[in-house]
Chains A and B, each alone.
Chain A
Amino acid sequence: MDEFFKPSRRSFLRGSAAIAAGSVAGAASAQEADPLITELQDWASYTGVGVDETPYGLPIRFESDVVRRNVEWLTASPISSINFTPIHALEGTITPQGCAFERHHSGAIELTKDDYRLMINGLVDKPLVFTYSDLERLPRENHVYFCECAANTGMEWAGAQLNGAQFTHGMIHNMEYTGVPLRTLLREAGLETAGDLSDKWVYVEGADASSNGRSIPMEKALDDVLVAFKANGEALRMEHGYPVRLVVPGWEGNLWVKWLRRIEVTDMAVGSREETSKYTDVYEDGTARKWTWVMDAKSVITSPSPQMPITHGAGPLVISGLAWSGHGQITRVDVSKDGGITWETARLGKQGDTKALTRFYLDTDWTGDPMLLQSRAMDETGYVQPTKNQLREVRGENAVYHNNCIQTWFVNEEGIAENVEVS
């Protein structure tokens, strides 16, 4: 049995001593001159790459591990599957499109702007067809929103399963969308025919073979839903629904229909496959919750984490993480190093974005002792991110979706982190 697994007073002292010794050595020892500094390096002598080399750039090859990853055993085929954003390796809040997770039900399709049509029909005054260029002529807005799959962290219901923030929390991305408010399009078609809007729905449908469709209450449709055609300033990527996708702020990703082709005003929920057989939450007694659209407040420490071990030893350590809430702004994040016994309030990178990722930091001095790292988000409604056990008490362990529990990383004395579950 290794001594270092016991966070005893002794090891605490040893840790402190190590820091003290380290800092003294660092300051005083005259180490050998660094050849990276003293010797002329190739890159400082030869010329580099010209401006005509890369019309559209990718990250430098040294970052080739910062990529989306797939968990093969999760699904029957990568055509109807999901991959994971490398959130462990990203900073700030904006997810680059090229590594933002993908979820397809029948694969990503190529649809040109010229071939794009958007139909609005159902209980509207005049059913309309829009082209892509029509959409570009309507007043547009820019908003940063997170898009989280309802199944994010779903594999962790029964216990700690996957070793990496990418896999436990990577079904999420956060982009700045440019689009036309859905209400503008609905008004263009006219809602007189629909009469009382309080019990009306819009059914939204994609152009791909899965024709993924979901019903959204009219109240939400007229609120903040966007028909988006740009993300992070450029065209949507194919895998995110080029040329047009729906953005449904704060609500589960499955509603963010890609390759959006049709919006139908209806007087009831369609009860499509994705809103009955999937994306419903089965509880302990076998009954299921439906229409669980909002993604509750959630957070995760992205570094250190299993894919991001501490490699520098004891001393100054930046604990960095992400928090978000489908109910609005993140107002506070607390971090615990001892599995939830004591908490410290973290610093928010930037405040104010609603239904968007918020970066948080705890700038700390690591003793070198093992830690059980947790983060706990609070949103503007006062909601506090629950523990896994709190969720289980209400929902049991059979649910798949909407697991927003507090995540625990065990960091050992070497700085290696592991996904664990604690009492």
Chain B
Amino acid sequence: MSKSPNLFIPAAGGTVLILGLAYGISSREYGAATIESLETRVEQVEANAAVASATAQEKAEEAARLQSEIEQLAMTAATGTNLTQPAPSIEGTYGLGRMAVEEEIAAWDVDVLPDGRGLPEGRGDVYTGEEVFVEKCASCHGDFAEGVGNWPVLAGGFDTLADKDPVKTVGSYWPHLSTAWDYINRSMPFGEAGTLTADETYAIVAYIMYSNDMVDDDFELSHENFTDVEMHNSDGFVVDDRPELEYAQWRAEPCMTNCKPTVEITMRATFLDVTPEGGGESVMNHASADESPVFSTSADASNEDVADGGANGVDPALIAAGEGAFRQCKTCHEVGEGASNRTGPALNGMVGRTIGTVDGFRYSGVFQEASAAGTVWTEESLAAFLADPRGMMAGTRMSFRGVRDEADIAALIAYIQSFDE
């Protein structure tokens, strides 16, 4: 609104000026005709002034409208929807940053491209490479680049790429040799990155090539023969083809009802027991692998044909069932050969032993009391404890709610009993 007077004033001011001039002229002794014609002029001027005034009014209104639109947009911007702009891009530059000097670029720009650009001059043979590798690399990657523990395997794995667990090594998988040189030069050895000389890097790469049966033991790698090397899997890669193979199919209206007749659980994480502490806590531990629901389109889902778990009597099948059920105990307890105390005590020879007497385990008060009283674990007391640990041994630190299924309890006892002290 504040803008409207600005627009209005020039138009009105002009009119006043013209009118003033007209009246000034009419006050002199001119002829009637002149006066008449002047009066006509005045009328014309007044008419023009009226038009100008109307136009000015229109402009003012338009300005007011625009102004209110701006105000509205500003409001919307304030409430978070629009008027946001990307950072401005200007015609020239901001002139920030300084020129990098050659020495700096040389120090940092050391990456090597697949066509060999970026390689420094140098050379190294397999023998030297083995020496350097054993000294600087083998503690993680093994003397023969076979990998130690979870550290990367660098050699072998040819013809495993289509297997269940492909072994992806420099030999079997990497499409460019430059990648090996570049990575070793910049990022290895782990914990001492950037300390290798160019010759050492050539030698290590030569040794890794040898470990992958790519070259003989008298081979020397250098900047001169580097690009002659052919990689086993250089043609093994395709550029992302999800747009054709996946997006084309999966950009479609999805099903909402009766999308399939039945649904069954085919795999459960609980039985893998690989979740670290802090994961879902002993979830579903009452369940056995057989106890999975079947969901179906009708509410009358039936899984009557699911096997009834557990036989009776101590037989191998029961012990085997117990081994399965014991997975829920494994997080805290060990049993069997070499079993030791973990969060809970080792369970070898448990039935028939006095409660709370496993060497080296710190028991809670209730177990210490039972131990002092000389109470012995029997099949019955163990069954009661497994069914309701806190009910039977109030104050136990064992954070486990108990085994619901009697068959599982019998199986567990049979399994635990199968291991002597």
Contacts and interface: CB of A to CB of B under 8 A. Distances in A.
B269 A161 contact: yes
B301 interface: yes
Contact of B179 (A77, A166, A272): A272
Contact of A69 (B108, B111, B149, B278): B278
A298 B290 CA distance: 31
Contacts of A74: 150
Contact of B292 (A5, A187, A382): A5
A282 B161 contact: yes
B108 A270 contact: no
A276 B231 CA distance: 13
B115 A160 contact: no
Size bin of chain A's contact surface: 35 or more
A232 interface: no
Interface in B228-270: 236-242, 245-247, 250-252, 254-270
A127 interface: yes
Nearest to A213: B111
B94 A137 contact: yes
Q: Name, among A120, A141, A382, A398, the residue most crowded by chain B CB atoms within 10 Å (CB to CB).
A: A398
B365 to A, nearest CB: 26
Nearest to A268: B113
Contacts of A75: 150
Nearest to B159: A286
A394 to B, nearest CB: 5
Interface string B148-173: 01110000000001111110101001
B316 interface: no
A341 interface: yes
Contacts of B150: 73-77
B283 A418 contact: yes
Nearest to B186: A211
B238 A277 contact: no
B89 interface: yes
Interface in B99-119: 99-100, 104-105, 108-109, 111-115
Contacts of B254: 334, 343, 376, 378, 384
B162 A273 contact: no
Q: Which label, helix, strand, loop or mixed, suits the secondary structure of the B interface?
A: loop
A65 interface: yes
Interface string A36-70: 00000000000000000000000000000101011
B44 interface: no
Interface string B185-196: 011001101100
A157 to B, nearest CB: 10
A116 interface: no
A292 B104 CA distance: 33
A80 B265 CA distance: 35
Interface stretch (B50-58, B218-226, B302-310): B302-310
A128 B186 CA distance: 22
Q: Name, among A134, A282, A394, A417, the residue most crowded by chain B CB atoms within 10 Å (CB to CB).
A: A282
A210 B188 CA distance: 8
Interface string A1-42: 110011111001000000000000000000000000000000
Interface stretch (A144-152, A237-245, A258-266): A258-266
Nearest to A1: B308
A412 B268 CA distance: 13
B96 A130 contact: yes
A289 B257 contact: no
Given A166-B278, A205-B111, A340-B260, A138 B96 contact: yes
A383 B250 contact: yes
Contacts of B78: none
A397 interface: yes
B176 A271 contact: yes
B265 A383 contact: no
Contacts of A187: 89, 93
Q: Name, among A73, A79, A167, the residue most crowded by chain B CB atoms within 10 Å (CB to CB).
A: A167
B167 to A, nearest CB: 11
Contacts of B186: 211, 213
A197 B88 CA distance: 21
B297 interface: yes
Interface string A362-374: 0000000010100
Contacts of A139: 87-88
Nearest to B307: A1
A291 B242 CA distance: 11
A416 B284 contact: yes
B410 to A, nearest CB: 14
Interface string A157-178: 0011111101100000000000
B270 A418 contact: yes
A134 B242 CA distance: 40
B193 A210 contact: yes
A289 B241 contact: yes
Contacts of A284: 162
Contact of B263 (A1, A134, A160, A340): A340
Interface in A199-249: 203, 205, 209-211, 213
14 contacts: A6-B293, A71-B276, A162-B274, A213-B111, A269-B114, A270-B112, A271-B175, A272-B111, A276-B175, A276-B176, A341-B295, A384-B251, A394-B246, A423-B266
Given A8-B300, A210-B193, A272-B183, 15 more contacts: A2-B405, A65-B278, A74-B150, A129-B100, A138-B94, A141-B87, A280-B237, A289-B240, A309-B280, A341-B260, A343-B255, A343-B257, A412-B284, A419-B270, A423-B263
